[in-house]
Amino acid sequence: MTETNPNENKPPAAQLGEKARQETIDVLCESFARDEMDMEQFEQRVELVYRAESMEQLRPILADLPTANLPVTVAPRPTLLPESIPGHSVMGSIMGSGGRRDGAWVPARHNWAVGVMGECVLDFREAQLGHGVTEVHGFAIMGGVEVLVPLDVRVECSGIGIMGSFDHKGSVTSTKDPEAPVIRVNGVAIMGGVNVRVRYPGETARDARLRSKAERKALRQIAKRK
């Protein structure tokens, strides 16, 4: 009689990406900051996260934490055909509450954002990007242009702030993958600001601050223990 392998018909385990691994560590940091575990438990679980090879191995690490949710992996970014990408787009806000583009929109190769005593927001975290470089030309005059970018793109910034700010900050680190799409931001801020932020999909500015605070607290506790 032929023996049957019990694992023969099982679907392959979902592969574990670095994004899911980092998100799991972020969840552990938040739980530690809420005193849901002690330092020894925190360190043990972080070590298990680094050893994990699939999403299935992450679930037991978080299962007993009251406020923890298993991170949801982001589907691979779709590749758009060159002819489906517009060449130019313009968005402006003049003495208004602002214009916004977010969700699964298709950015042009060159995106012009102008904030004159108003604010524009370009959220690329769920955008459908083409291969290569997507340019953002931001101009803020007594107003603001905010650019939100995901982790799986490379960010390049080059701009001037005149009695204003032109900065690039991330509550998380964007990828260094040379094959990843590039978002290149340039422009001028005059008595205003052009700000680029790297953030998780769906994460608000408040969420990012709370997560960063929890991470810093956890890192300080680890440093003291050493």
Q: Domain for residue 112, yes or no?
A: yes
C-alpha R_g of the chain:
21
* Shared-domain flag, residues 121 and 219: no
Least confident interval from 80-84, 138-142, 170-174, 182-186: 170-174
Helical (H) or strand (E) element with 23: helix 18-33
Same domain, 163 and 130: yes
Q: Are residues 90 and 107 in the same domain?
A: yes
**171 and 92, same structural domain?**
yes
In a domain, 25, yes or no: yes
One domain for residues 118 and 168:
yes
Q: Please report which confidence band the pLDDT of residue 94 belongs to, taking 50, 70 and 90 as the band edges.
A: confident
Q: Which domain holds residue 116?
A: 82-198
Residues 161 and 187 in one domain: yes
Residues 6+ apart with CB under 8 A from 49: 21, 24, 25, 28, 58, 61
Rounded to the nearest integer, the mean pLDDT of the chain is 79
Local structure of 6: helix, strand or coil:
coil
Tokens representing 123 are 């959220």
H or E element in which residue 113 lies: strand 110-116
Our count of domains for the chain comes to 2
112 with 158, same domain: the answer is yes
Mean pLDDT, rounded, for 210-216 = 71
Is residue 59 one of the residues assigned to a domain?
Answer: yes
Whether pTM > 0.75 for this model: the answer is no
In a domain, 146, yes or no: yes
Shared domain check, 132 and 28: no
- Are 183 and 220 in a shared domain? no
In a domain, 211, yes or no: yes
Q: Is residue 1 part of a domain?
A: no
93 and 145 assigned to the same domain: yes
